Amino acid sequence: MSDPLRHAFAHCPRCRESMGIFDEGGVVRPTCSACGFVQYLNPSPAAATVIRRGRLVCLVQRKYAPKAGEWTLPAGFIEYDEAPAEAARRETFEETGLDVRIDGLVAVHQGVLPPDRPVILIVYAATELGGELLAGDDAAAVGFWPPDAPPGPIAFSSHRRVLAALAAADREAAR
Ligand SMILES: [Zn+2]
């Protein structure tokens, strides 16, 4: 994991004074010495869906950096006042055109959005209700593939972990 101070403000966003660094029991807290503003350096929460068609799983090809051209589960960042499951449903619709119902939690993984943004990925199982499979604005392509045979590299380690677990569960179910 990268140095959290790379993300620290040099100047207070409230009063423009220089920020100092307080060490709170080993946790770094950039803090304004003038007004007391504290910059909490937390991971960004994101949500993803696992949508199956038999043994196949829905994957989206990234259109934009980072990792343009590589593949992920349908996923995106959770908005300020949005519930995680709603973010998963919204991002899935925006990227794939599929209207889905969120069924339950699959996994929660720590990850990094390159170059160094820490992310917590919340992964839900989802079922197609309707819609039309069509790559959305920030997707280059969308489709269904076996979890152990995606059409190209998987962009993020957290998504690779989900696909590996799906492939292992599929193998177990086939025995
Ligand atoms: Zn300040």
Please give the distance, rounded to the nearest whole angstrom, from the Cα atom of residue 46 to the centre of ligand 1: 29
Please give the distance, rounded to the nearest whole angstrom, from the Cα atom of residue 120 to the centre of ligand 1: 29
Please give the distance, rounded to the nearest whole angstrom, from the Cα atom of residue 34 to the centre of ligand 1: 5
pLDDT for the residue numbered 7: 87
Report residue 5's pLDDT band, with 50, 70 and 90 as the boundaries: confident
- C-alpha 115/C-alpha 50 separation (Å) is 25
For the chain, the first-to-last Cα distance in angstroms comes to: 38
Report residue 1's pLDDT band, with 50, 70 and 90 as the boundaries: low
Domains and CATH numbers, the chain: 1-41 (no CATH), 44-174 (3.90.79.10)
Please give the distance, rounded to the nearest whole angstrom, from the Cα atom of residue 38 to the centre of ligand 1: 9
Please give the distance, rounded to the nearest whole angstrom, from the Cα atom of residue 29 to the centre of ligand 1: 14
- The structure's pTM equals 0.92
Q: How much is the mean pLDDT over the chain? A: 95
Report residue 98's pLDDT band, with 50, 70 and 90 as the boundaries: very high
| pLDDT tens sequence across 120-148 | 999 999 999 999 999 998 899 999 999 99
pLDDT for the residue numbered 147: 98
Q: Pairing relation of β-strands 44-53 and 56-62? A: antiparallel
- C-alpha 121/C-alpha 103 separation (Å) is 17
Please give the distance, rounded to the nearest whole angstrom, from the Cα atom of residue 136 to the centre of ligand 1: 41
Please give the distance, rounded to the nearest whole angstrom, from the Cα atom of residue 13 to the centre of ligand 1: 7
Residue 57 has pLDDT above 90, yes or no: yes
Please give the distance, rounded to the nearest whole angstrom, from the Cα atom of residue 30 to the centre of ligand 1: 11
Give me the mean pLDDT over the 33-52 stretch.
Answer: 96
Report residue 157's pLDDT band, with 50, 70 and 90 as the boundaries: very high
Q: Long-range contacts of range 106-113, CB-CB < 8 Å, 24 or more positions apart?
A: 106/50, 106/162, 107/161, 107/162, 107/165, 109/157, 109/158, 109/161, 109/162, 110/43, 110/158, 111/156, 111/157, 111/158, 112/1, 112/2, 112/156, 112/157, 113/44, 113/66, 113/156
Please give the distance, rounded to the nearest whole angstrom, from the Cα atom of residue 27 to the centre of ligand 1: 20
